[in-house]
Structure 1
């Protein structure tokens, strides 16, 4: 073998032996580092991606807004590539996701089956995620009415109170109930309730522990049909397309499992947190009377129809999506 052919053979062998360059995906979340989402969702997802790609793709999680403050900016961080994957609520950038947010309307999905129904119809949302790749979409536990000092036993009790809402749609529901909606991310609710900036919040029961809202809440009202928020994990499109086809398939499957894990975790922790709150001296969970439930639901029903009609008028196939979510 000549020196030239030997060098060529060695170079070829080196190329074959050289492992593919590892890719680290940054995942950004504004929630505190102690939030249960880390162990329930992100750790299993990271493990599945690493194992499924033989360690060629890994995930590094940044909690507490470490890659940038402001929950409402999360979606843009994915678009701009500040992080490859971000967690957020579509309600924080509601104008971008009118179809996605139809699922949060009272009565559209069931908290136990809503995530599976959204995943089964996820292709119907593709037009809203052209700038990113939708990896995960799941619903939380039902949003309840938390108040600091005013117990809500009827719609009259809610009249004129400033109530934090997670999205425009939820705000319209609160307004129909007689409250004054105040748009605010979950991270700001504690201080706002503590200082009296708001009288209460429409929010799910996991926040009693995850955001320590049990410390500033004395009453929680349950029983009416209410908004059920969605969470998503979206990925920078360039980052996704830089992966091989096999790696993309692994990431998508890990994202789907993350959605199911997220839904299960939110429901379980919400139930436990609400039970613990009810058992705490000086705290009260108010179960609305049948008459009060009927009044709340009658007030919100026209809002649901109004939002669907507005979306249809804007060119969104809203009614078809709502009907698909309800089909089993």
Structure 2
């Protein structure tokens, strides 16, 4: 009887050990608070847990693991297994994907933004550059075209952008600089204070961020049709952590991406549907620039900035022309479909 009990106890201990060893927990570094911008990560965690019976969990932290500008560094040293970052925060570390931040690319909706992002993420040169940071691109965080909120009198002419202090990063910041604006790249979490203290006159964000970071609450006006571009903020995983997953857990993660992005698009669409009512509620004037003003903006910002980007990146050994043409070809294919 003692032998039988001893064997049963040993089996139970062995089973517990195997179960514990099979459980995987990943730490995920985000920032701010839960919002439309992070809904795909939240959904990903839900789907992965469901598919693995709770054996694979994603522990999402909003600012508790790293600062937003340091998330890629954290991935590179394995401080956490998954993170979200924006290319404009450290353009020298992720040069290739900044093609997606060029101004006036012509991306007109979130489905197109997903398509061009995924196409660029799949390019070997992009994957090779990200691998230098031990990062594997998992999914995009598609955002609509940025527009600006501001205080004081509305700016509806290009000449009024001269000297305008604007919170803008990446290609959007370059676009405003081309028409005399003074861009500053304070982080999203710092934007409200920068606006409140007068460090900036205006803030360029997608709609969700104007809500999440409160800049809409400081605004007197919002540009409805400026649409200078957007930023690209991928979700990445640490390569070693990804490769260490069991085939089952890796499949659960990979197969959940489409569902997570689909959930994100549906959720963001609801936000866009109610945006006009938000403006009315907060007494924010909707400003629309005349087509002639927009054409002048594009002429100054689009072609020169794109050509300079291609020349600079090519000189650094990146297939810049190929990346830009990939974006254009993907847009054409997406619209054909």
* TM-score range normalised by the length of the shorter chain: 0.7 to 0.9
114-123 vs 211-220, which moves further = 114-123
Residues 59 and 83 of structure 1: is their aligned pair in 2 closer, same or farther, counting only changes over 3 Å?
same
Contact 1:117 1:325 survives alignment (8 Å): yes
Contact 1:136 1:258 survives alignment (8 Å): no
TM superposition shift of 1:272: 2.5
Residues 47 and 282 of structure 1: is their aligned pair in 2 closer, same or farther, counting only changes over 3 Å?
closer
- Correspondent of 1:197 among 196, 199, 221: 199
TM superposition shift of 1:236: 1.9
Contact 2:203 2:215 survives alignment (8 Å): no
What RMSD over aligned residues (CA atoms) do the two structures have, in Å? 2.6
Number of residues of Structure 1 aligned to a counterpart in Structure 2? 319
2: CA distance between counterparts of 1:129 and 1:211? 29
Residues 270 and 99 of structure 1: is their aligned pair in 2 closer, same or farther, counting only changes over 3 Å?
farther
2: CA distance between counterparts of 1:52 and 1:120? 27
Q: Any idea what SS the aligned residue of 2:255 has?
A: helix
Q: Deviations over 1:42-94 (max 9, x none)?
A: 3321121112223221111111x1123x3211111222222211122121111
Q: How does 1:69-148 map to 2 (within 5 A)?
A: 70-108=67-105, 109-112=107-110, 113-124=112-123, 125-130=126-131, 131-148=134-151
103-112 vs 77-86, which moves further = 103-112
Match of residue 215 from structure 2: 213
TM-score in terms of structure 2 length: 0.85
Match of residue 318 from structure 1: 320
- Correspondent of 1:164 among 152, 163, 167: 167
TM superposition shift of 1:190: 0.5
Match of residue 66 from structure 1: 64
Runs of 4+ with deviation above 6 angstroms: 6-14
Match of residue 309 from structure 1: 311
TM superposition shift of 1:101: 1.4
TM superposition shift of 1:280: 3.5
- Correspondent of 1:247 among 246, 249, 259: 249
1: CA distance between counterparts of 2:320 and 2:259? 26
TM superposition shift of 1:163: 0.7
258-267 vs 303-312, which moves further = 258-267
2: CA distance between counterparts of 1:266 and 1:166? 22
Q: Any idea what SS the aligned residue of 2:74 has?
A: helix
1: CA distance between counterparts of 2:214 and 2:92? 30
Contact 1:187 1:211 survives alignment (8 Å): yes
TM superposition shift of 1:306: 1.7
TM superposition shift of 1:9: 11
Q: Deviations over 1:240-260 (max 9, x none)?
A: 222112312221232344344
Q: Deviations over 1:112-148 (max 9, x none)?
A: 3121232244320211220112111232111112212
Match of residue 30 from structure 1: 31
2: CA distance between counterparts of 1:122 and 1:94? 16
For structure 1, which runs of at least 5 residues remain unmatched after alignment? none
Q: Any idea what SS the aligned residue of 1:94 has?
A: coil
Contact 1:205 1:271 survives alignment (8 Å): no
Residues 106 and 268 of structure 1: is their aligned pair in 2 closer, same or farther, counting only changes over 3 Å?
farther
1: CA distance between counterparts of 2:291 and 2:44? 42
190-199 vs 23-32, which moves further = 23-32
TM-score in terms of structure 1 length: 0.87
Match of residue 50 from structure 2: 51
Q: Any idea what SS the aligned residue of 2:141 has?
A: strand
2: CA distance between counterparts of 1:106 and 1:90? 14
TM superposition shift of 1:14: 6.9
